[in-house]
Chain A
């Protein structure tokens, strides 16, 4: 089949295509979404000021409330959940943190085997990553009722990978990246719509990446319910997944992400939104380079490998 074949073959489908939505209507629908984002962004900036004063001005907030859909509170601030009660020290946010690898050995083995049998990755790539002996190291991983996910590092450290297995799925989804190229960005948030078939269907708020060593733990939290998880990092590697309630197709997913150092001090804080109908789109949340206090270095951006 040539290019011309496919185009010619599909051309008859457009002979009686439906009447398009007027462009003015597209604008009418878009404007409330813009207004919601602006409102949310302004509210969070105000909250940051109230809880201790922002160390940087609005002008230095990367992609501010205009288009980014998120705001960032930079280094050195107390967690917004900290209260004014001076007689009872607040519990460390790391107190309930899961280890970077909280997978049971059997789950880790099962996931790795399924990754090795992933149908969508070539044998060459799998061979170069896992080698003849399947010698890749799990750097972070966790399991929720909905999904099992881990990050891996190749034996020579030149590649990393994520692998996830949805509950009830036969095949795991393996994505391999190089640690040298600069393509995908270092942070990959996703509000995943994939649902089990039963009525307890949830969405997954998940982040996985490698962060600077100074980030000792990461918390992701669904704002509406407060459901979330705190995970420790392993030399910066982490997988954080929060099962969150199902949302309507046109709702935003509002979430908070917080990064802590080893003492539990907040290094950076993101208030973000992801379209529930548009998961996997990393354009709404900047890469780690947007965190003024994390001393971003280009090598933290990680790219795909073919």
Chain B
């Protein structure tokens, strides 16, 4: 494949999928800057493997696989135990919807790695169990376990956050 052909096909693909995969990266890692790094890593790997991946018509699956697996390992870094926040103290007060969305995103980031990936792929990307299993490299039964546990844990975390929020309001 000539470079010009390769670049044209790759560019068209990136333009078509940019929003979708950038948002997935963001939901997976909870931070736009890290999401951008993650996405660039994935795109670079996709570019290197482009002829093989394109021949197999497996671009989307390959991208998802890189994104979730890179994020899985990246999120294990020790420094990452400190949870960054996207809120700046001088920013205007967020709307209630945005504030609630940040609470949900924060709770999602607190799930164990595989639970977060399984919940995101299944319940945010709407992937099937088989597709989720392929992306994560695990068996379908394991996807069900991680997904169910992740949802249950997410409910617990949101319930605690809501309770804390109500207590804060009473104190003020």
Contact = CB atoms under 8 A, between A and B. Distances in A.
B114 A306 contact: no
A1 B151 contact: yes
Question: Do most interface residues of chain B lie in helix, strand or loop, or is the interface mixed?
Answer: helix
B47 A275 contact: no
Interface in B34-91: 36-37, 39-41, 43-52, 62, 65-66, 69-70, 72-74, 76-78
A26 B73 contact: no
A64 to B, nearest CB: 11
A66 interface: yes
Contact of A120 (B7, B114, B154): B114
A197 B78 contact: yes
Interface string A23-59: 1101101110110010000000000000000000000
Interface in B93-113: 95, 97-98, 100-102, 104-105, 112
B47 A33 contact: yes
A281 B69 contact: yes
Interface stretch (A3-11, A77-85, A146-154): A3-11
B44 A6 contact: no
Contacts of B52: 63, 66-67
Contacts of B48: 30, 33-34, 37, 67, 69
B11 A24 contact: yes
A31 B47 contact: yes
Given A34-B47, A194-B77, A306-B142, A280 B69 contact: yes
A193 B77 contact: yes
Given A10-B104, A26-B43, A20 B18 contact: yes
B171 interface: no
A278 interface: yes
A90 interface: no
B104 A9 contact: yes
Given A6-B124, A277-B74, A306-B140, A12 B101 contact: yes
A18 B52 CA distance: 31
Given A30-B47, A33-B47, A21 B36 contact: yes
B134 to A, nearest CB: 9
A306 B11 contact: no
Nearest to B98: A12
A180 B119 CA distance: 28
B165 interface: no
A192 B11 contact: no
A279 B65 CA distance: 12
Nearest to A17: B32
A128 interface: no
Interface in A171-217: 181, 183-184, 192-197
Pick from A11, A24, A283, A305 the residue with the most CB of B within 10 Å. Answer: A283
B51 A1 contact: no
A88 interface: no
Given A9-B101, A67-B52, A278-B66, A1 B142 contact: no
Given A18-B32, A20-B18, A306-B140, A1 B155 contact: yes
A275 B105 contact: no
A264 B112 CA distance: 43
Interface in A249-282: 249, 275, 277-282
A254 to B, nearest CB: 15
B97 A12 contact: yes
A305 B139 contact: yes
Given A10-B101, A278-B66, 13 more contacts: A18-B36, A30-B43, A66-B52, A120-B114, A183-B137, A183-B139, A194-B76, A194-B78, A195-B77, A277-B74, A278-B70, A304-B138, A306-B145
Interface of B: 3, 7, 10-12, 14-15, 18-19, 22-23, 26-27, 32, 36-37, 39-41, 43-52, 62, 65-66, 69-70, 72-74, 76-78, 95, 97-98, 100-102, 104-105, 112, 114, 119, 122-124, 126, 137-142, 144-145, 151, 154-155, 158
